Structure 1
Amino acid sequence: MKAQNIDEVVDGLAGIVREATRAGDRIGYFAALYRQVTVEVRTAIHSGLFDDGARMNRFDTAFGNRYFDAHDAWHRNRTGPRCWREGFGLLENADTVIVQHLLLGVNAHINLDLSVAAARTSPGGAIHSLRRDLLLINDILGRVVLAVQDSVGALSPLLSLLDRVGARTDEQILDFSIRQSRQEAWYNAVLLAGQTEEEREATIDRLDVRAAVLARLVARPSGLVRPALELIRSTESDDVPAVITHLDHAMAGPSVP
């Protein structure tokens, strides 16, 4: 699908969540998180919190369409950006844990898509006027992440094992990934905004390769993290639709229609 505005992004994500819930598809895990972030961004636009609400509507639409394009390409013929293919390719693996799917979505959407959407929304020198509004999204993400952390913790009672093997808990993983990745994404957006189309395509390809490498580390961890994840998985629910519904209600907002 191609969204024309943020309302259509929210509707498109709600449709993916709804279909994933019906089919028991783990693609609904990240889609539920992303839907709630987008709803919060839309509320902030309507509340006049951004310097330029119309511009943020355009940005969020471009951002959302990056996800829809990757989603559709994967379902059509298993193509699309490398980093998204790494995440989507793990969806049918029943040995994965919830937080892995969330991280894989966050990785691809922020480490690749955010920079591209920002640069295309505000090309050239205009990119610098976008900085404050993008930083405001960090606050929105923080609120959603806090709510999702509680959901993940309730669904993964042994997730704290990751701390004991030198990894990170759900809170630290999500917070670190979002904050660190968004900071890097801003620098990449500035780079992309000043490039020619040919240069931009080469940079996007490099960003995709890097994000795909990070995705493999999340999808196939080594050392003590692997057996810890196996134990964590043994305590998580096998009811994928119930997990999606739980995550999708993390903000205690309206249910998916």
Structure 2
Amino acid sequence: MAQIEQFPAAPAEVGPVVERMRALRASWPEADGVAVFNRVYLTVTEDIERRVAAGEFTRAAATLDVRFAERYLAAVDAAAAGGRPPACWRPLFQYRGHPGVRPLQFALAGVNAHIGHDLALAVVDTCRSLGCEPADLEGEFERVGDVLVLLEERVREELMPGPDLLEVGDPLTHLLGCWSLERARDGAWLAARSLWRLRRLEHGLGLLPEPAEEFTERLDRSVGLVGRMMLTPLGAQSSGSSTGAISS
């Protein structure tokens, strides 16, 4: 078992990821649905960059965070090139300009795609990079998970209408109650461990990588289905609710 705790403090590998997100923020209209998610994610990633520079993250934790962010940026690149991003991200790119989808929906749909699909694959990517097992990364996974809690908190603080505006009868209230960050994190960890075992089994038995690919595809599509439901158009917001502007 790899001794993750003995890895030295990570260099500032997060810097290029932060610069990419800043460039995207500058190039997209503020009301763009993907831009809403990007602005929130950028503020959290900038905080991670500061923690890495201060030596608060191990090499393994920083590597996991970078591999995680790269999954989102790869989806952005695929969409920009006219290709097909992963199914989990397609609803966000398809609905990014829909006037009936609220900023909070865009942000949470991005969080759903990133955690539900990208996080599991990022764990596998990190294990390959560091030559370790998912079990060796459990502590690092929890550390990154703590950052995700900050991401969700920022989303809700910046984009959720005030308590007097978010009424029980508001469809948005129902949508928010159907998704849980904690369940998404648990699902991502289980998916990562399952995918790693499938790939190890295929390699050991000399099999073609069909089961692992099928597992990844089904995970992608199921997360995408949840994201599509989260982006159900609800109409214009009430006067006084958030417009989606996020301070950085």
Give the TM-score of the pair, scaled to structure 1: 0.76
Query: Equivalent residue for 2:189?
Result: 186
Amino acid at match of 1:129: D
Instruction: Give the alignment partner of residue 32 of structure 1, picking from 30, 36, 39.
Output: 39
Question: Is 1:122 the equivalent of 2:130?
Answer: no
After TM superposition, the structure 1 = structure 2 runs for residues 187-202 of structure 1, keeping only pairs within 5 Å, are 187-196=190-199, 197-202=209-214
Asked whether the equivalents of residues 198 and 212 of structure 2 are also in contact (C-alpha less than 8 Å), the reply is yes
Question: Is 1:204 the equivalent of 2:209?
Answer: no
Runs of 4+ in 1 over 6 A off after TM superposition: none
Asked whether the equivalents of residues 153 and 159 of structure 1 are also in contact (C-alpha less than 8 Å), the reply is no
Asked whether the equivalents of residues 88 and 227 of structure 2 are also in contact (C-alpha less than 8 Å), the reply is yes
Query: Equivalent residue for 1:86?
Result: 91
The C-alpha deviation readout for 1:107-133, integer Å capped at 9, x for no partner, is: 111111110011121158611111111
Asked whether the equivalents of residues 160 and 242 of structure 2 are also in contact (C-alpha less than 8 Å), the reply is no
- Matched residue count: 226
Structure 2 unaligned residues grouped into runs of 5+: 1-11, 200-208
Instruction: Give aligned-pair identity as a percent.
Output: 24
Q: Could you say if the C-alpha distance between residues 179 and 75 of structure 1 is closer, same or farther in structure 2, counting changes exceeding 3 Å?
A: same
CA distance, structure 1, for counterparts of residue 171 and residue 91 of structure 2: 24
Which has more helix, going by share of residues? Answer: 1
Query: Equivalent residue for 1:151?
Result: 158
After TM superposition, the structure 1 = structure 2 runs for residues 21-100 of structure 1, keeping only pairs within 5 Å, are 21=29, 25-50=32-57, 53-100=58-105
Give the TM-score of the pair, scaled to structure 2: 0.78
Asked whether the equivalents of residues 33 and 93 of structure 2 are also in contact (C-alpha less than 8 Å), the reply is no
The C-alpha deviation readout for 1:61-106, integer Å capped at 9, x for no partner, is: 2212211111111122151111211111001111110111011101
Q: CA RMSD in A?
A: 2.9
Give the drift of 1:138.
2.6
Larger radius of gyration: 2
* Counterpart secondary structure, 2:40: helix
